[in-house]
Structure 1
Amino acid sequence: MKMLILGAAGQISKMVTELILTETDHELVLYGRNLSSRISVKDPTREVIIEGDFNDQDKLKQALIGVDIAYLNDMSSPDATQAIVEAMEESGVNYLIGANVLGIYNEVAGAFGEWNTSMVGSTATQKYLKAAEVVEQSSLDYVILRLTWLYNQTGNEDYVLTEKGESFVGAQVTREAVARLITTIIHDSDKYAKTSLGVSEPDTDWAKPSFY
């Protein structure tokens, strides 16, 4: 299998890269701006860096050659998401995992929902929603990951999932857990196709994350 990581210098992207390299024999295409100065290749026989912008169709299509599945580390731009979806559809690459945020469907209730809205803001939330709609209305098989507030904790890979239409529960989750979830999806892609999943840590149904 060959996987494309869009936004490969992001923290979750780096964790996914490490898991893929240590636990599988998959190949990786690492895509993003100024990557040569931001990441280092550990296995040149399995990793290729392509530097480019999300809106650069030619570079995206170059990166998509031979790819089976793509991970998009940031869905904050509807235009960039649209460009990626179009490049994938034209290249015949059918599976996209995208990192989005909680709250785009007004699915976060109570005190935590109010706190989250005040922190993220309606303008940013609408951008994330429009990007999600671009993916949902495409021909792709997709998994949209609606991530709660993120932090790092080595060894903590615990997560719980909620589906679109269900209330979101959980104020925080580790990036390590999200990276583990992404690798799980890669290895059981049919099970997760055409889903929008809320991702949080068990037993964190609080008014705000512990680190705020």
Structure 2
Amino acid sequence: MKILILGAAGQIARILTNELLNKTNHSIALYARNGHKRLTIIDDRREVIFDGDFKDKDKLINAMKDVELVYINDMGDEESTKSIIDAMHDAGVRRVIAASILGIYDEVPGAFGEWNKRMIGGSPRMRSQIESARLLENSNLDYTLLRLTWLYNQIGNTKYMITQKGEPFKGAQVTRQAVAQLIMDIIEEKSDKYLQASLGVSEPNTDWAKPSFY
């Protein structure tokens, strides 16, 4: 399978790329602004780099040639999200996994929910994330939306837990390594259990008032 990673210079995207190269036979198209300057090819038989902006639909369509699955590393700009969705429709690509943030449905209860609102609740970026998620959920694509809690790095810690849309969000933090592992698990899943799904993503046993690193 050929996978397109949009925002390939991001931290989770880089971890995911390495995991795909080391643990699968999938080929990977890496799409980023100034991608050739920011990214390094490890396996030139399986990787190709595209320089481009998310709003450049023609470049996106070109990068989607022979692609079966798209991963979107950032949904913080709704115009970019609309451009990606339109390009997928034009290119005939249906499967997409997209990284969003917690709180887009006001689904985070308790002290952590209040802390999260104080930190990001009224920000323009949050409003863009809400609109981007709405666009994706109404896109008629085979989507999996990942509502990520607060992120940190810890090599070797790939533990994650999932909550479904409509359930209270649990968990104040999760590693980028665990998010990459979840994306790998979703990519390899043969059933449709992750299709048309909006998943809250956190680390088990972190149901705290704020992340440990704050």
Q: What TM bracket, shorter-length normalisation?
A: over 0.9
Q: Is the 8 A contact 1:76 1:131 kept in 2?
A: yes
Provide the secondary structure at the position in 1 that maps to 2:193.
helix
Provide the secondary structure at the position in 2 that maps to 1:70.
strand
Distance, in Å, in 2 between the alignment partners of 1:179 and 1:18 is 10
RMSD of Structure 2 on Structure 1 (CA)? 0.7
Provide the secondary structure at the position in 1 that maps to 2:43.
coil
Deviations 1:42-62 (A, max 9, x none): 000000000000000110000
Distance, in Å, in 2 between the alignment partners of 1:33 and 1:202 is 34
Partner of 1:208: 210
Residue identity in the other structure for 1:183: M
Distance, in Å, in 2 between the alignment partners of 1:124 and 1:62 is 28
Provide the secondary structure at the position in 2 that maps to 1:208.
coil
Distance, in Å, in 2 between the alignment partners of 1:32 and 1:120 is 26
Distance, in Å, in 2 between the alignment partners of 1:124 and 1:33 is 20
Residue identity in the other structure for 1:149: W
Partner of 1:109: 109
The farther-off stretch of 115-124 and 193-202 is 115-124
Q: Is the 8 A contact 2:143 2:195 kept in 1?
A: yes
Provide the secondary structure at the position in 2 that maps to 1:179.
helix
Identity of aligned residues (%): 55
Partner of 2:22: 22
Distance, in Å, in 1 between the alignment partners of 2:109 and 2:125 is 18
Residue identity in the other structure for 1:186: I
1:185 Cα deviation after fit: 0.5
1:121 Cα deviation after fit: 3.1
Q: How does 1:158-177 map to 2 (within 5 A)?
A: 158-177=159-178
Instruction: Tell me which of 184, 193, 205 is aligned to 1:191.
Output: 193
Q: Is the 8 A contact 2:3 2:67 kept in 1?
A: yes
TM-score (norm 1): 0.98
Deviations 1:31-78 (A, max 9, x none): 010111211000000000000000001100000000000000000011
Provide the secondary structure at the position in 2 that maps to 1:88.
helix
Provide the secondary structure at the position in 2 that maps to 1:89.
helix
Provide the secondary structure at the position in 2 that maps to 1:58.
helix
1:26 Cα deviation after fit: 0.4
TM-score (norm 2): 0.98
Deviations 1:86-113 (A, max 9, x none): 0001111001100000000000011100
Q: Is the 8 A contact 1:89 1:139 kept in 2?
A: no
Residue identity in the other structure for 1:95: R
Aligned length: 212
Q: How does 1:1-212 map to 2 (within 5 A)?
A: 1-122=1-122, 123-188=124-189, 190-212=192-214
Deviations 1:174-203 (A, max 9, x none): 000000000110011622000000000000
The farther-off stretch of 152-161 and 119-128 is 119-128
